[in-house]
Amino acid sequence: MTQEDLAFYGEFAPKLQEIENLLMREIQAMLDSISADSETALAEHIKCRVKSAESLKEKLRNNGLPETARAGLENLSDLVGARVITHFVGDIYTVLELIQQNKSWRVITVKDYIANMKPNGYRSLHVLLNVPFGIGGIPDIDVEIQLRTIAMDCWASLEHQLKYKKHIKNTALIVDELKRCADEMASTDLSMQTIRDLIQRG
């Protein structure tokens, strides 16, 4: 958290950081329980973050909510978020099972945008969790874990750039091409999964 973020979150800041650490620790432990060997590790990497004050304020503004940390905590679910990047599609569902078995939180919903991709080609699996909070009269908050393959992550980061860049030539062409790339990458992800299954079956 930056100086600005600490100032914005105020009394909630330490607890948010604690939840961020909890996510990181629990996810790492779950992954290690399957394999601690980097060759066969489930995840390529894990990222956790507390939403920056600037981006939270913008989201609150867009939702017509007061621009305070409390409004965010009470209404939004991505103040604390984690992302798990896997090598293979199948690993996403293995991690999902581990998340569902973990007692540190309660799973609220699972949105599978891999099985049901968004129209622009976006693919990921989003798990909404509820964790105890207990600061300032807020008993619990929702946090989100996103699971995706390296290919999906690469695609999403490019698509993110498109979203935040206002003036781009040939936007329609870029949107079409991104969708085509997403479909090709998803196809390759499944080919790789199939090959891995065959290799493991021997």
Partner 1 sequence: MKVLYAEDERQLSVAVTEILKMEGFEVTAVYDGQEALDALDNDYFDAVILDIMMPKKDGIEVLETMRKNGNFTSVLMLTAKATVDDRIAGLSTGADDYLAKPFAMKELIARLNSLIRRSSSYRHSTVKIGNIELDSNTCELKSDLGSLRLNNPEAELLTFLIHHAGTAYTAEQINDLVWNGKESPEKAELYVFYLKNKLRQIHAVVHVRIENDTYALCEGE
Torsion of CA 33, 1, 83, 18, to 10 degrees: 40
- For every residue of 139-152, DSSP letters joined together read EEEEEEEEEEEHHH
CA angle, 155 then 160 then 161, to 5°: 105
Given the complex with partner 1, which of 47 and 180 has the nearer CB atom? 180
| Minimum CB distance to partner 1 smaller for 173 or for 190 | 190
Amino acid, res. 194? T
Considering only CA atoms, which of 1, 114, 99, 102 is closest in space to residue 43? 99
Element (H, E) at 128: strand 125-135
6/110 with CB nearer partner 1: 110
Q: Which is nearer to partner 1, 48 or 182 (CB)?
A: 182
Q: How far is the CB of 198 from partner 1 (least distance, A)?
A: 7
**Residue 98 beta carbon to partner 1: minimum distance, rounded to whole angstroms:** 22
Name the site residues for partner 1 (rule: CB under 8 A): 114-117, 180, 183-184, 186-187, 190-191, 193-195, 197-198
Distance, CA of 46 to CA of 184 (rounded, Å): 25
Task: In angstroms, give the least distance from the CB of 118 to partner 1.
Answer: 10
In angstroms, what is the minimal distance from the CB of 34 to partner 1?
22
